[in-house]
Amino acid sequence: MDAQKLLDLVNSREFGKEFADLNWSGSFRDYLDIVVERPEVARTAFQRCYDMIMSYGTRTYTEYKKEITHFTFFDDPVDNGKDAIYGLDVHLQKLVLVFKAGAQRYGPEKRVILLHGPVGSSKSTIARLLKKGLERYSRTPQGALYTYVWRNLSDIVGMEDVMPDPMHGEPLHLIPVERRDAVLRALNQNRDRSRQVFIEGDINPASRYVYRALMEHYRGDWEKMLENHVEVRRLVLSERDRVGIGTYQPKDEKNQDSTELTGDINYRKIAEYGSDSDPRAFNFDGEFNIANRGIVEFIEVLKLDVAFLYDLLTASQEHKIKPKKFAQCDIDEVIIGHTNEPEFKKLQNNEFMEALRDRTIKIDVPYITKLQEEIKIYEKDFNSVSVPHIHIAPHTLEMAGMWSILTRLEEPKKANLTLMQKLKLYNGKTTQQFTEDNIKELRKEAKREGMDGISPRYVQDKISNALVVDKGGGCINPFIVLNELDSGLKAHSLINNEEIRKHYRELLSEVKREYEDIVKHEVQRAISADESAIDKLCGNYIDNVKAYVQREKVRNPFTGADEEPDERLMRAIEEKIDISESRKDDFRREIMNYIGALALEKRSFDFRTNERLHRALELKLFEDQKDTIKLTTLVSSVVDRETQAKIDVVKNRLIKNYGYCEICSSDALSFVASIFARGDVTKADKDKQP
């Protein structure tokens, strides 16, 4: 491919059309035509933010008998999922409802939105998503908005010939206040409320100075003044260009200056215009000024100096700011801040800050408490594309996520429920003992769940360390990562309590035990993965159950003799799914009734549709085959050729069916072999032994 083809990819016809659309300009009359046709161009900042979120669509699902809305926008379609938010649909739904109420002028548009939660819980990511989304939305036809530029000023006003409105004001603000009601009545006639236009606020001091000078020059001929001196332009929001999107980060108390929010005097121009109260000698470039029509983010907002917090009061409630030596000027923007819990507690305990608390809508952003959502965070950063040179063994990220979730959960009050069982219930597993209503109750009684525990950042850092050190020689497994997590606890900057550190280490041991069960199960399934053998075993079991229920005998396929049903075989399978001796008759009759019902519908019985029975058959087949494979010989240095061939078959199954590689499949087999070699079986396994 030559250079010209590469240039053609940039300078395409679509690129030129987009440039023309985004740089549209016209007269005030042209803009009024646009407003008549598309009133949404004159939306408020809250309306624009809400419409931007909804433009990406939604889907609903039911969890714990409650309907929850998932907003596609928070999957970050703008940036291909780079800042996607996982597992916080309930809290994001509350945030979007605030935007919806603010868009409908019900009150939240006069409040500071405060994202509150522990470190690393996605507060900054949510704010970044909103800024990024609004920036992209302003470039679309649906999100178009406009501002104005003053022209031909040098001869009349005595300043630069061209002056863009310094706060990107709404062109409709140029309509005199006393004429607005009549204009709006005509404009909104026969429109429903959702498409009505409102004009709120007024032009800023710099534009007011120009406006008054021009009106005086034209002897009050407002239309002629607009025709000769006002050009309306398309406004594209941009954080990098400081247009409509602002960000303020607290600094050292000695260096904080409120002019960073509301603008400052341009001392170079004082000599030119003769006064520091002349708006032509003032830079309206504070974060509040430049964020007009869009959104302003306050990073760690409660670390601001008290003087800054006072600015927030009028900016939120009155939609006004007070630049130095000027009257209050109007703003229209979403004010969103985020803070952690210690800072929020200081706000609650400060009796002098009641006014700010009253003007704040707090949205909790806790840690994720659902395992499958936590895993998505790590899979996004550590996958075959981002880490192509090192294989990440199956369940490695799952175990890291499991531990981080366990640290965030509160101990269940039910005596027969462990923390690990609670994690599984939250992750979607239900049993006869614990229904959705029970899970809903568990969530309600855990008031602070998700507000404490280990941050995803810590886990990400330790996974990164494991990848860099590469102790697995090209593959990292769960034990490598769990040991890395353990070793980092000693120096963890946010753990200052030895009891908490000890508790976290106990949870790591719990996760390792859980992994042992998982990897054992997978190796067992790989060994007993012969579908034909399982089919044969299942057929044998069903034949014996049928004979038992109907009080018949079973024909021996080898001798041809009629024999009693094989009770030992049936019980060996049933014990795997915890069918007690007293319940065996009922269970066997249930199976035959089910098979009979299927036969009436001309359908055949398939054990694969019954997960418990399928698992029991696999375990039985594993018990029958493990001795022939001699798995325990893996821990010795000598393995005969026949056994090695069988082991290679199992390894290939692990690689093909479960995502293992050569390294971690060997590690998994060796680990499971060591368990059997030392006779270290779980209590459940012992209970199942005859």
pLDDT band at 190 (very low <50, low <70, confident <90, very high): confident
pLDDT band at 689 (very low <50, low <70, confident <90, very high): very low
Please state the pTM of the whole predicted model: 0.84
Interval 78-124: pLDDT, tens: 999 999 999 999 999 999 999 999 999 999 999 999 999 999 999 99
pLDDT band at 140 (very low <50, low <70, confident <90, very high): very high
pLDDT band at 295 (very low <50, low <70, confident <90, very high): very high
Percent of the chain at pLDDT > 90 equals 52
pLDDT at site 310: 79
Interval 502-561: pLDDT, tens: 999 999 999 999 999 899 888 877 876 666 777 888 888 888 988 999 889 888 777 778
How many Å apart are CA 126 and CA 122, to the nearest integer?
6
pLDDT at site 396: 96
How many Å apart are CA 505 and CA 486, to the nearest integer?
7
Residue 88 is encoded by which pair of tokens? 């916080």
Nearest to 458 by CA among 394, 401, 513: 401
Interval 440-495: pLDDT, tens: 888 888 888 999 999 999 999 999 999 999 888 899 999 999 999 999 998 888 88
H or E, element range at 60: strand 58-63
Q: Which residue has the higher pLDDT, 389 or 255?
A: 389
Using the 8-state DSSP alphabet, how is residue 448 labeled? T
Pairing of strands 163-164, 145-150: antiparallel
Using the 8-state DSSP alphabet, how is residue 116 labeled? E
Q: Is the pLDDT of residue 625 over 60?
A: yes
Interval 212-248: pLDDT, tens: 999 999 999 999 999 999 999 999 999 999 999 999 9
Point out the least confidently predicted range of 15-19, 365-369, 400-404: 15-19
Q: Please state, rounded to an integer, the average pLDDT across all residues of the chain.
A: 87
Amino acid at 486: D
pLDDT at site 628: 53
pLDDT at site 641: 76
DSSP string, 93-115: HHHHHHHHHHHTTSSGGGSEEEE
